[in-house]
Structure 1
Amino acid sequence: MLLTSDAGGVRTLTLNRPHRRNAIDGELWDALRTALVEADCDRSVRALVLTGAGGAFCSGADIPQRISTAHPLYRMRQLTDVTLLLHELPVPTVAKVTGVAVGAGWNLALGCDLVVATPEARFSQIFARRGLSLDCGGSWLLPKLVGLQQAKRLALLAETIDADEAKALGLVTWMVDAQKVDAFVDDLTARLVAGPPVALTQTKSLLNEGADRTLRDALANEARAQAVNFAGMDVQEAYAAFAARREPLFTGRWAVPPNRTKEDDT
């Protein structure tokens, strides 16, 4: 159902229901939720990749063959929990999209910080064709990414667009040939892992929150984030590496003064 692998600080979550083009059923929603909670709690994870098996990313939420007796509000909680966990995950996230990304599947990809797609990828906000409204954060994500008018076009008409158009609209960060996409994502995540973890976490949070805040709020949040950064070892390491003309080695460690005095606490 869900495959998990770790390499060099990168955790990869692979949706593994290729017979359904990786449509997400209740069991897979639960597995995703558990996996994201575990990634959030594991300090060895410095970046996360979300992808799909068998030449597809995700064809959306799996429509059950039999009507569920659970109340729709409870069923929707599975989706909203996963959406929030993915969006708020402290580490950088990358969606690697091959094949279709439809409905909730596309919105999970858009919920990642960066999206890498192959030319064969196809995207659709298919909800209207199913008599449904947007979910998995689509109503919040799309207007921020493409503007209100294009968001309405994608949602109301439920058109399928190709990778070229998705990139032109700003819904794909990079488009990479299928033969090269794995190596590209490996290089990209290696660069993210090499970055300062605390600073990247705070930058991600600042960018996510900035669109909904006033400039005064954003400046206050930036000042708070920089104060935390200056209290860590990574800033010192960056300056030392610059002076020595070498690449920095960021650890995210806290810089605690070795000799504290009472004056330090006042």
Structure 2
Amino acid sequence: MSESVISETVAAGVVQITMNRPDRKNALDRTSYAGLIAAIAAAEADASIRAILLTGAGGCFTSGNDIKDFAAAAATGQGLTIAIDFLNAISTAKKPIVAAVEGFAVGIGTTMLLHCDLAFAGRTATFRLPFVTLGLSPEGGSSYLLPLVAGSKKAAELLMLGEPFGAEAAEDAGLVNAVIEEGTALEAGLAKAKTLAALPPESVALTKMLLKRGSAQAVAETIGTEAHHFGERLRSAEAMAAFAAFLKK
């Protein structure tokens, strides 16, 4: 497993997958995505694992894509391909996924929450969907799923303006189940993961499948359509200028 992703069994039936690049606020590069995909696949294949707990190291969930790595891969599309592979993996996982969010949840750090079954955020967590501000477009099925959970007006506000928003706004938008005291999201997430792991696993898996059944095809199609446009935007003059400005900071 990549050092940028740590996978470990933390309780009976519970595997914790930790995004582990704290010096980069757990920004996701191609190696990180490969580690996440492998960790989810291993959890799915292990009959002893009944729930997945997803978090980030160093008091931060993830600051989203590593812009330097993403910009370098833009010409070949490699960065986009493996990111989409991760989104397909997390969106189709059969076992329940619980997210524990502290610090930053930016870009894909926010959109991946739409594919988690439960999510908890520390009170000072900050979320952002900065795709438009980077000259890009929505990803992760967010253009379909976010209006469903947040409403069309709120989804337009979050996706089109790309401004940061707090944990309470994330709860109101349906991105997290609850806002709790700073530093306790992992504890809360682990408690719910343990509860899920103690329940009849076939019943849990069936319930998850039925909950996702009505939107599964639309989500898959949206992820693909968004990826097409996102790939085009990556090569656009607007995105190139936005990346260059970001990397000068």
Matched with 1:71 is 76
1:118-152, CA deviations, whole angstroms, 9 ceiling, x for partnerless residues? 00101111111111111122223212211222111
In the alignment, what sits opposite 2:104?
100
Structure 1 residue 19: deviation in Å?
1.1
Aligned residue in 2 for 1:186: 190
1:139 to 140, 143, 160: 143
* TM-score, L = length of structure 2: 0.80
The separation in 1 between residues aligned to 2:100 and 2:49, in whole angstroms, is: 18
Counting matched residue pairs gives 212
Higher RCO, 1 vs 2 (CA within 8 Å, ≥6 residues apart):
2
2:176 counterpart letter in structure 1: V
Quote the residue 2:223 is aligned against: none
In structure 2, what is the equivalent of residue 109 of structure 1? 113
1:195 alignment partner AA:
L
Give how far 1:34 is off: 1.1
Using the TM superposition, name which of 172-181 and 48-57 deviates more.
172-181
Match for 1:54 among 51, 58, 63?
A: 58
Structure 2 residue identity aligned to 1:129: T
Of 157, 162, 165, the residue aligned with 2:169 is 165
DSSP 3-state at the match of 2:182: coil
CA contact (8 A) 1:111 1:141 kept: no
Q: Distance in 1 between matches of 2:8 and 2:216?
A: 35
Q: Secondary structure at the match of 1:67?
A: helix
| Kept after mapping to 1: 8 A contact 2:113/2:176 | no
- Matched to 1:68, the amino acid is A
Q: Show the counterpart of 2:13.
A: 9
CA distance in 2, matches of 1:164, 1:62: 26
Secondary structure at the counterpart of residue 185 of structure 1: helix
Report the residue type matching 2:149 in the other structure: L
1:176–1:71 Cα change, 3 Å: same
Q: Any residues of structure 2 matched to 1:78-89 within 5 Å, and which?
A: 78-89=82-93
Point out the structure with max Rg over C-alpha: 1
TM-score of the two chains, using structure 1 as the length reference: 0.75
**8 Å Cα contact 1:119-1:163 kept in structure 2:** yes
Residues 183 and 104 (structure 1 numbering): CA distance in 2 closer, same or farther, change over 3 Å? closer
| RMSD of aligned alpha carbons | 1.8
Q: Which position in structure 2 is the counterpart of 1:123? A: 127
Question: CA 1:69/1:165 → structure 2, altered by over 3 Å: closer, same or farther?
Answer: closer
Q: Distance in 2 between matches of 1:186 and 1:197?
A: 17
Residue 31 of structure 1 pairs with residue 35 of structure 2: yes
* TM-fit CA distance, 1:179: 4.5
Instruction: For residue 78 of structure 1, report the CA deviation from its aligned partner.
Output: 0.7
CA shift at 1:212, angstroms?
A: 6.6
Fraction of identical pairs, as percent: 35
Residue 196, structure 1, aligned to residue 233, structure 2: no
CA deviations on 1:230-259 (whole Å, 9 max, x unpaired) are: xxxxxxxxxxxxxxxxxxxxxxxxxxxxxx
Distance in 1 (CA, whole Å) between partners of 2:22 and 2:216 is 38
